[in-house]
A and B are shown apart, each in its own frame.
Chain A
């Protein structure tokens, strides 16, 4: 905010009209800018029934999808996308890891459903050990800067799983581990 600061000038009257206009324009501009930021800030979180905001990720080596090393969510339009957020330090994740892999084996050849594991706040070494230990083969990527989990509006902790339909609309959120392969299948069937 720039203002007239010298007091030595002998202005008889108040603030000149042009200065006033300038100040108000400046203020309105600032508020408009912040208002714009506010609108943006309120939008980008995923809610059920709404399209999921765009994000991209870089797969872990050896866990790419269709030979691509990077992915944009928009590339997967037309498929059902299952995003599972996990971490190697997360005990409940270990419960569901075999079920997720088993479910992936059912769908991987259909090219209609894709599973993506998103590794939340982890070390590459820990992640690698975890993926090897549970023989995970579906695509996996780290959640760099926790960007993806904030876009998906991660509710509690890990694991959480997000189901996105063929139009890119968020349809279901599972908080906590899956109890069985059937549970995963039934959610996917409800979307189809």
Chain B
């Protein structure tokens, strides 16, 4: 009943989306405002429709309807209700539907806004959004249907949507259960955040496409989508950070980022999205880089689609990959369509996208922003090559060779260092014109202070040259950025006669994007401290201990006290938990309890580290193995991860910075920034 209802609504939404494409195209080409309005209303309808379908699926998930194949795969009776709800995105079929639902939310939201000033974009924004939605819904309706049920046909159990002849519904007594790795609270929000980030990039992309199609190539589309792209970037960044934290907590390898194809697939649009955030400012302020911004938006969106395709079609293997699935060819067609149409449109409109002025100085802010973009693109190229290399090698040698973390680390580290240096220099440069003298005057104090800090670190902390270069750059960027806050607030304080804090808060409130950006720069540096710490100074040891035996690592002493193993039938889990005592220089610090949870339903283990976390370092202990009969001995893997906490502190500040920058302004009056600009309106499409 609920399954038929949910599926029926899915099909209806699919048809509504198809209708809106035709209506929008007809309305745009025949100048029929009524048809465009009809298309707009049908897009508005899609979100409530899909919400109904989602409600049906959640009902089935929560109420143990194991006759539904998807429910059987991702839930079991022992799971708590909130996990049964979040199991919605715990498998391929459900997560594709979840994705469609989010997309519909964005599509419906964007059609609600006031369109009077840019009504010519509307039909094309609808077309792009609706086609994307049709594609995702098509996958759900035809290939990965979460409402498929089990039927007993002549002694065999077969999955079908509708009852075959002489079949009876078959419901297993209990389900398979969600993959235990996905039962972590971090995993409950990590995928939705990433999906939100992915999905929301469709909005800037659709406006860019609309601008190309209509030929209205002033920066209206950029202004309209500025906030959308900032929020998209927020969700994507948040998703990446949560993923790192989750990996650190549950994957049990003492790391936060493994350069896995799926991680890189999410990182690549982040790179182009970050480049876009910077270069957009140049188009707004200087009328430059119109081609480039268009390419960046297209690239970001294409990378979202391409990355999703690679990881969901089974083309690349990965810990994150979904099981092999029939959606591959269909998805491939959509990827090709996106790329071909986007590139063709850009080539067609290339002549009318030219910049309005020229770049005058190699040290001007726009030149440094261009450099920043090129560096981001270099990281992208490295990542892209690494991701598709297994395919290339398989094509030419027959062997699937995967490139590992060392490849990415070595290739990208110098580029990240250069990006950090730019972060220190660019905020000091002026639009239009800067020279070595002006830049030098602005930054010499910070540079000297950063050198002094580095020298102190050299004497007291480390002689590692890479770490010292890293710390120097971090100190430089932090000092330059803080000095910017200080300088501007002081200037305002003198001019307005306010106290310093009032000046600072008003200054930041007036210029959210700029100071939000600076907060993000600071947070990046805090994260860099954590990354340097774990990458360069991480220590690792492993050993089998009998009770009372000790392991020493990085100043810590770890003593194995006891081990217990018990079943929790209610949760359907067997827990094996070791207790170890931790000492530092003979002083008792407390106990840690690394454990392994074994889930009966999905027959999978989950390793939960015992972690002692301070600003200086983390002591991260994994229980690897134990001798069950005697329960006397156990094997531990122990990491000391210096400074890693700064990664999480930086992540938090990072989110604060983005939200600060993306928060809606009180008065949107400051629209026309660039004076004396010729707004070209080409109506070549007509």
Residues of A within 8 A of B (CB): 1, 3-5, 7-8, 11-15, 20, 23-24, 27, 30-31, 33-38, 40-42, 45, 87, 89-90, 121, 123, 125, 153, 156-158
Contact = CB atoms under 8 A, between A and B. Distances in A.
Contacts of A11: 354
B315 A7 contact: no
A42 B625 contact: no
A94 to B, nearest CB: 13
Contacts of B373: 5
Given A4-B291, A33-B388, 18 more contacts: A1-B299, A5-B291, A7-B290, A7-B355, A15-B347, A27-B340, A33-B392, A34-B332, A34-B391, A36-B394, A36-B395, A38-B328, A40-B315, A89-B598, A89-B603, A121-B604, A121-B605, A125-B625
Interface string B335-353: 1100110010001101100
B283 to A, nearest CB: 10
Contact of A3 (B295, B313, B358, B625): B295
A42 B314 contact: yes
Contact of B315 (A14, A38, A157): A38
B210 interface: no
B288 interface: yes
A35 to B, nearest CB: 6
A41 B314 contact: yes
Contacts, number: 97
A8 B350 CA distance: 14
25 contacts: A1-B295, A7-B288, A7-B290, A7-B359, A8-B355, A8-B358, A11-B354, A12-B351, A14-B348, A15-B347, A20-B347, A27-B339, A34-B309, A34-B315, A34-B335, A34-B388, A37-B316, A37-B394, A38-B313, A41-B328, A89-B598, A123-B625, A153-B324, A157-B176, A157-B603
A158 to B, nearest CB: 7
B289 interface: yes
A142 B313 CA distance: 27
A7 B359 CA distance: 8
Contact of B627 (A42, A125, A153): A125
B150 to A, nearest CB: 13
Q: Which of A15, A90, A156 has the largest number of chain B CB atoms within 10 A?
A: A15
Say whether chain A's binding surface is mostly helix, strand, loop, or mixed.
Answer: loop
Contacts of A34: 309-310, 315, 332, 335, 388, 391
Contact of A45 (B324, B336, B394, B605): B324
A86 B291 CA distance: 58
A3 B299 CA distance: 11
Contact of B395 (A8, A33, A157): A33
A120 to B, nearest CB: 9
Contacts of A27: 339-340, 343
Interface string B389-419: 0111011000000000000000000000000
B583 interface: no
A7 B336 CA distance: 28
B329 interface: yes
A41 B291 contact: no
A8 B292 CA distance: 12
Given A14-B351, A41-B315, A42-B314, A35 B291 contact: no
B306 to A, nearest CB: 8
A41 B322 CA distance: 12
A49 to B, nearest CB: 16
B292 A41 contact: no
A102 to B, nearest CB: 25
Contacts of B332: 31, 34-35, 38
Nearest to B324: A45
Given A27-B340, A42-B324, A7 B354 contact: yes
Contacts of A20: 347
B402 to A, nearest CB: 11
Interface string B367-391: 0001001100000000000001011
Contacts of A123: 625
What 4 A-B pairs have minimum CB-CB distances, sorted nearest first? A7-B355, A41-B314, A37-B315, A14-B350
Nearest to B395: A36
Nearest to B295: A3
Contact of A38 (B329, B339, B359, B370): B329
Contact of A156 (B176, B289, B336, B604): B176
A86 B625 CA distance: 19
Nearest to A13: B351
A37 B315 CA distance: 5
A27 B299 CA distance: 13
Nearest to A92: B603
B315 A31 contact: no
A38 B331 CA distance: 10
Nearest to A8: B358
A13 B388 CA distance: 34
B474 to A, nearest CB: 29
